[in-house]
């Protein structure tokens, strides 16, 4: 990770350590978690966050923010974002955000302990890098994710061998 990217993550981390921001996000996490509990077949639920929650302190280039709650034991499969850099923080619980190529994954175990090193709580995923969250069986995993495109422009791409180019794209908000 470059010094510039580390500094960007430190800025985001400082914002997310604010008690007011954590309380506001915590309320959204509970709402998203309740939605997950109602959707028995879902492996995750999410909600786009209004950037106003973070005040004016966001680093340049952050255009959307999200809360995801991933079900305990979930493997959501490989995905990538061709139009956005993703910066993600473990908010509650822990999980393994694998990166790389399908079949050749690199583990990135993330925890929510505020005393843990930044690199153990955050990950930065450049555009077009495959990633795959795996969640332990003991508890759901809540994460906060920042993207460099507005919420209504965020594209998710998944492997799809039935298509000529081998992938399927859709806008994230359209999935819901």
Which domains occur in the chain, in start order? 3-76+85-149 (2.60.120.10)
| C-beta atoms surrounding 166 within 10 Å | 10
Q: Which residues of 104-129 are buried (b: 16+ CB within 10 A; e: fewer)?
A: ebeebebebeeeeeeebbbbbbeeee
Closest by CA to 37, choosing from 71, 75, 67, 66, is 71
Whether the Cβ atoms of residue 36 and residue 71 lie closer than 8 Å to each other = yes
What pLDDT tens digit does each residue of the chain (176 aa) get?
889 999 999 999 999 999 999 999 999 999 999 999 999 999 999 999 999 999 888 998 999 999 999 999 999 999 999 999 999 999 999 999 999 988 899 999 999 999 999 999 999 999 999 999 999 999 999 999 999 999 999 999 987 667 677 677 777 676 65
Q: Can you give the pLDDT at residue 174?
A: 61
CA dihedral 79, 84, 90, 96 (to 10 degrees): 30
DSSP3 helix / strand / coil % (the chain, rounded to 5): 30, 35, 35
138 near 74, Cβ under 8 Å? no
Cα–Cα distance for residue pair 7/67, rounded to 1 Å: 22
Q: Which of 97, 150, 153 is nearest to 125 (CA)?
A: 97
Q: What is the pLDDT of residue 23?
A: 96
Phi and psi angles of residue 174, each rounded to the nearest 5 degrees, phi first? -70, -20
What pLDDT, on the 0 to 100 scale, is given for residue 56? 80
Residue owning tokens 């915590």: 26
pLDDT at residue 158, as a whole number: 87
């Amino acid at each position: 990770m470059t010094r510039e990217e580390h500094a960007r993550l430190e800025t985001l981390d400082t914002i997310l350590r604010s008690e007011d921001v954590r309380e506001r996000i915590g309320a959204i996490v509970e709402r998203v978690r309740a939605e997950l509990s109602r959707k028995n077949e879902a492996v995750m639920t999410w909600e786009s966050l209004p950037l106003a929650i973070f005040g004016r302190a966001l680093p340049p280039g952050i255009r959307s923010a999200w809360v995801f709650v991933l079900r305990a034991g979930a493997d959501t499969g490989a995905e990538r974002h061709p139009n956005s850099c993703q910066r993600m923080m473990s908010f509650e619980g822990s999980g393994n955000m694998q990166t790389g190529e399908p079949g050749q994954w690199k583990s990135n175990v993330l925890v929510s302990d505020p005393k843990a090193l930044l690199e153990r709580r955050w990950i930065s995923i450049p555009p077009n890098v495959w990633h795959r969250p795996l969640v332990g069986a003991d508890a759901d995993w809540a994460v906060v994710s920042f993207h460099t495109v507005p919420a209504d422009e965020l594209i998710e791409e998944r492997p799809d061998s039935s298509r000529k180019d081998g992938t399927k794209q859709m806008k994230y908000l359209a999935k819901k």
